[in-house]
Every structure is written in structure tokens, then in C-alpha cells.
Structure 1
């Protein structure tokens, strides 16, 4: 199942890793581990943020995606299920509309 993993990095310890030159090494290790289909870095609510498209086959995999961010950056992680246009087309919206109208 495709999910967006949205990560908010608190200023500390992220700033300390930037100052020490270790942030790239840590981030690369995490990305090599979680293997996102896409990765974007942005601002979220005044903090550094990341948005990662991941494929979660089993719910038991979720800690493996979140813990590297929790343990290294004390980050907040949010997971959202997403659909591509084909998934939406296969959702049966017409039938649902008839059933619930």
C-alpha cells in the first residue's frame, strides 16, 4: 500500500548534526534503509520537514520506517495512505454513490 511518510525534524538535534557535518551521513543511511520511491525535503510548520513516498506491504513494517527518524532526530512521523489515479478509478465511486445516495 502506498503511503506518504511526513517527517517533522525538531531544530535540535538536527542543528547539532548540521554543525558537526553528520546530517548527510545519517540521512543517507536512513534513505538507504527505507528506500522511498520519492523523497522531498521542505518546511513544515516552521521546522525542517521531509515527505517520502513508501510502499508498505504489511503494517508491521511501519516501525522500521519511523524509528530511524525517531531515534536519530527525535522527529515526528505521520503516515497517510495515498492512491494514484488508477486506484481511485478502481475504488467504485459510482457504486458507492448509488448505495449511499
Structure 2
């Protein structure tokens, strides 16, 4: 299932990682674990935020993927199922039998 992960990063914890010079390595490790089809980084609600779209094969992936975000960044994390245009079209094509 295609999932959107939104992670708001704690400012102080993130500042510590940046000051240590390890931010590029830490981000590569964490983002690399998700193998995202896309990733975006911005500020949201006044804090650093990352958005990753990736394929979650099993909900059991959540602990090993999410714990590093909690531990390293003190992140607040949300998972949301999402669709691309192909998924929406596939879903809409199944509605015809619903209305018959």
C-alpha cells in the first residue's frame, strides 16, 4: 500500500544533529530505509518537516521505520494511505458495479 509519512522534527534534537555534522549521514540512513518513491523536506507549523511516499508491504514495517525518527529527531509521525492517479482511476472503475 502506498503511504505518505509526515514527520515533524524536534528543533533542538535536529539542531544537535546538524551541529555535530552528522545530519547528511543520519538523513541518508533514515530516508534510505523507507526506499521512498518521493521525498520532500520543508517547514510546517514552524518546525522542520519531512514527507515520504513509499510502499508499505506490511504494518509490521512501522516500528523499525519509525523508531529511528522518534529516537534521533524526537519526531511526531503520521502515516496516511494515499493514491496516485492510476490508483484513483482503478478505484473509480470499480464503482460502476456499486451504482448498478
What TM-score do you get using the length of structure 1 for normalisation? 0.87
1:56 CA displacement? 0.3
* RMSD between superposed Cα atoms in Å: 1.5
For structure 2, which runs of at least 5 residues remain unmatched after alignment?
A: none
The 8 Å contact of residues 9 and 73 in structure 1, kept in 2 or not, is answered as: yes
**Structure 1 residue 49 and structure 2 residue 80: aligned?**
no
Deviations 1:44-67 (A, max 9, x none): 111000000110011111112211
In 2, Cα distance between the equivalents of 1:65 and 1:94?
38
Q: Give the structure 2 partner of residue 23 of structure 1.
A: 23
In 2, Cα distance between the equivalents of 1:43 and 1:94?
41
Q: Give the structure 1 partner of residue 2 of structure 2.
A: 2
Paired residues, what number? 98
What TM-score do you get using the length of structure 2 for normalisation? 0.88
Moved over 2 A (4+): 92-96
